[in-house]
Structure 1
Amino acid sequence: MLTLGIETSCDETAVALVRDGKLLGEKLATQIDVHALFGGVVPEIASREHLRVLPRLFKELLGEHGVAPEDIDNIAVARGPGLLGSLLVGVSFAKSLSLSTGASLVGVNHLWAHLLAPGLVEELVFPAVGLLVSGGHTHTYRIESPLEFDLLGRTLDDAAGEAFDKVAKVLNFPYPGGRFIDELGREAEPDTKLFPRAFIDNPSLDFSFSGLKTAVANYVNKHQELVFEEMADFAAVSALSGERRENLARVCASFNWSVADTLRIKVERALKTAGPVKSLIVAGGVAANSMIRETMAGVADKKRLRLTLPNLSLCTDNGAMIAYAGHLLSKAGYSHSLDLEAIPRGRVVPLDWTVGKNIIQA
């Protein structure tokens, strides 16, 4: 069974082929350089870039692997949540391809796909607690199977990834700046009293990183020597030295710690709420952060759980995770008709698959 995956939920255009659960190949076009000029993703530009590069990536992927469009059995597409204009480009392309080739169409929850992505390289063990940490979402789930996700905690305002992006912007790091915060943070010991751990003084499993973001911004405003006069590039960050580098590294390490320890507290609460589980799955773009990976390893070790972390290449948005999730859905007999809707961020992705002639709606 050959499944094509299409990902256009934000600023990465990606396609991938999965055959019988194994990755056959993938192509990806990033828009980082385009959006770096604005310090963040501009939705209209993102949509136009997807429209420009998606047909080319699809043609190149099939050509490199000797696959004809008629060979594709299933077409999986990220239907949401994400930027509506960007999602519509991918969904429209998927519908057109399904109509022209007769391949089955299935819409994929982008968030679930992140948490299933490690299944491309290792066996996923269920039941599990899943932590998704991405640019737009910080969620915890109890995952009973690849098709059964129970939301435990969710983002109330700024997700962890948004906090990283906004703190990086305050410091005038280039977009996306989370990698610079991580790299500099490794050079210093965190001051655990410098910044707050966000939204932990309550029993909630939900996340809110807006207060932490504001605390860092206020600190930086009082210490303008930390801020690059012009938007930094790799060379400028590398050239930074002396006391200024040490102080900036301490700020980055302290911010990293505040995010990571907040996630630790919430995940440990989620593990208590979820009941007996066998593993902890951590995924999403922010799961590439070294301190978060180390902290989650500590949680799993403490709770005697198997820890599943994606390879760094599978942390960010990619077509392989969509193709793999689509493969699992199609294998279970799930599909969508051509009235499949794109679901923007802020709306719940419905479970409106068709199985045979029966429609599942939850």
Structure 2
Amino acid sequence: MLCLGIETSCDETALALVRDGRLVDQCLHSQEKLHALFGGVVPELASRSHLTALPALLECLLERTETTLGDIQVVAAARGPGLLGSLLVGLGMAKGLALSLQVPLVGVNHLHAHLLAAGMEQDISFPALGLLVSGGHTQLYRINSPFHFELLGRTLDDAAGEALDKAATMLNLPYPGGRYIDALATGSTPNPTLFPRPYLDNRNLDFSFSGLKTAFSQFIGEHPQLRIPFQADDAKLRGWAEAHPELGTVCASLNWSIAETLRTKVLRALNDGGPYRSLITAGGVAANSMLRALLTETTQGHDLELILPSPGLCTDNAAMIAYTGWLLAEAGWHHDLTVEAVPRGKPIVWDYRRLPDDASAKPVCLDTCRPPN
């Protein structure tokens, strides 16, 4: 079965083809330079850019894979959570293709797709503990199967990736800045007392990084010499960092505070809610080198398999959408043309139908993502 995946949940426009669970190819258009001018994603510009880029990306993907539209057997699109305007563009294209090609349509939960993406590269052992860490989300799940996600904890305010990106903005690093924080931290020893490990004085599995962001802002206000006095390209940034080694210590300390907070909550979940057979870590921050190192130590101590997608599958991509869409279609689940886009902050319901349509199918909340009995 050949599935076309469409990803437009935020500021990356992407299309991918997955055949029988394996990636054929994908095409990506990044809006990074566009939004860098504003220091963050501008929703209206993002949706307009998706609208412009998608037709050319589809033509590129079909040409590179020597595929025709008639070869596509399933169309999948990210339905949420994300920016509503951006989601509507991708989902609209998916509906048009599914209708014209007379093939099943599958709306995909963007967050669950992140956690399942590693399945294209290796087998996933269930039940798994899933840690999703990105610019917009920090969540923990118990994953009993590709269709059964139980939400254990979520961020109450800022996500870990947002804290990293905002800290980078305070230092005048290029946007998006999380990867620059990680790069500057490499080779430096963190100071565990420099920044707090936020929201650990409790027994729950939720997260909160707004206080850490405030602490970092206050620290930079007291040490303004750490701010880079120009808009740095990579070469200038390396030179500045070599001349100011204290910057590396600050970045390493922030990195450690976030990574150690995430590890502490993971340990809490492992001890309180097991057993688990694997730990899946996904999302853009899953590429963070310190987080990967700490989680490697954690899983080795608990005899767990650590599943980390390759860096290209950590950030937003269409391969994960196509793969999750393929999994659902293979199991007989699909949507009709009334499927709606779901913006961030609203629950996504299980409103799939069986092939052929089962009129008795009832929606259930995807916080405990599983098919109805």
Pick the TM interval, shorter chain: over 0.9
For residue 232 of structure 1, what is the amino acid of its counterpart? A
Instruction: Tell me the residue number matched to 2:371.
Output: none
In structure 1, distance between residues paired with 2:255 and 2:160: 10
Q: TM-score if structure 2 supplies the norm length? A: 0.95
Match of 1:158 in 2: 158
Aligned partner of 1:80 in structure 2 is 80
Q: Determine the structure 1 residue equivalent to 2:236.
A: 236
Please give the root-mean-square deviation of Cα atoms over the aligned residues, in Å: 1.0
Give yes or no for the alignment of 1:36 onto 2:36. Answer: yes
Q: Distance in 2 between matches of 1:242 and 1:112?
A: 40
Partner of 1:169: 169
Q: CA deviation at 1:127?
A: 0.5
Cross-structure match for 1:187: 187
Please state if 1:254 is matched with 2:253.
Answer: yes
Structure 2 SS opposite 1:142: strand
Deviation at 1:270, TM superposition (A): 1.3
- The answer for the alignment partner of 2:369 in structure 1 is none
Whether the 8 Å CA contact 1:115–1:283 is kept in 2: the answer is yes
Q: What's the CA shift string for 1:314-335, capped at 9, x where partnerless?
A: 1000010000000000000000
Corresponding residue for 1:317? 316
| Deviation digits for residues 2-42 of structure 1 (CA, Å, limit 9, x no counterpart) | 00000000110000000011111100011111111111111
Partner residue in 2 for 1:345: 344
Equivalent position of 2:274 in the other structure: 275
CA distance, structure 1, for counterparts of residue 43 and residue 208 of structure 2: 23
Q: Which amino acid aligns with 1:26?
A: Q
Output the CA distance in 2 between the equivalents of 1:229 and 1:85: 36
Matched letter for residue 174 of structure 2: P
Q: CA deviation at 1:71?
A: 1.3
Q: Per-residue deviation at 1:274?
A: 2.5
Displacement of 1:302 after TM fit?
1.0
Mapped partners of 2:352, 2:27: distance in 1: 27
| C-alpha spacing 1:326/1:242, structure 2 compared with 1 (3 Å) | closer
- Report the counterpart of residue 368 of structure 2 in structure 1: none
Partners of 2:294 and 2:16 in 1: CA distance: 31
Is 1:361 the counterpart of 2:360? The answer is no
Shift of 1:235: 2.3
Distance 2:324 2:294 in 1: 27
- 2:86 matched to 1:98? no
Task: Please name the residue that 2:125 is paired with.
Answer: 125
Pick which of 348-357 and 104-113 moved more: 348-357
Match of 2:7 in 1: 7
What residue number does 2:135 align with? 135
1:35-60 CA distances to partner (integer Å, 9 max, x unpaired)? Answer: 11111111111111100101110111
Q: Secondary structure at the match of 1:240?
A: helix
Q: Deviation string for 1:102-161 (max 9, x for gaps)? A: 111000000000000001111111011000001100000000001110000001100001
Aligned residue type for 1:248? L
Question: Residues of 1 paired with 2:338 and 2:186: CA distance?
Answer: 48
Which runs of at least 4 in structure 1 moved beyond 3 Å after TM superposition?
none
Distance 2:242 2:43 in 1: 39
Give the secondary-structure state (helix, strand or coil) at the position aligned to 2:327.
Answer: helix
Structure-1 residue corresponding to 2:68? 68
What's the CA shift string for 1:173-192, capped at 9, x where partnerless? 01011111001111210000
Equivalent residue runs for 1:190-201 within 5 Å: 190-201=190-201
Equivalent in the alignment of 2:206: 206
Query: In the alignment, is the contact (CA less than 8 A) between 1:129 and 1:274 conserved in 2?
Result: no
Counterpart residue type for residue 92 of structure 1: G
Does the CA-based 8 Å contact 2:241-2:247 persist in structure 1? Answer: no
Confirm whether residue 59 of structure 1 aligns to residue 59 of structure 2.
Answer: yes
State the alpha-carbon separation in 2 of the partners of residues 349 and 294 from structure 1: 33
- Paired with 1:297 and 1:260, the residues of 2 have a C-alpha distance of 12
Structure 2 counterparts to residues 279-298 of structure 1, below 5 A = 279-298=278-297
Partner of 2:367: none
Aligned to 1:328: 327
Unaligned 5+ runs, structure 2: 365-373
Contact 2:9-2:81 at 8 Å conserved across structures? yes
Aligned to 2:17: 17
Superposed displacement of residue 230, structure 1: 2.7
Indicate conservation of the 8 Å contact 2:5/2:319, yes or no.
yes
What is the identity percentage for the equivalent residue pairs of Structure 1 and Structure 2? 56
Q: Tell me how far 1:241 sits from its aligned partner.
A: 4.5
User: Per-residue displacement from partner, 1:225-254 (whole Å, max 9, x unpaired)?
Assistant: 00012332212211115552x111000000
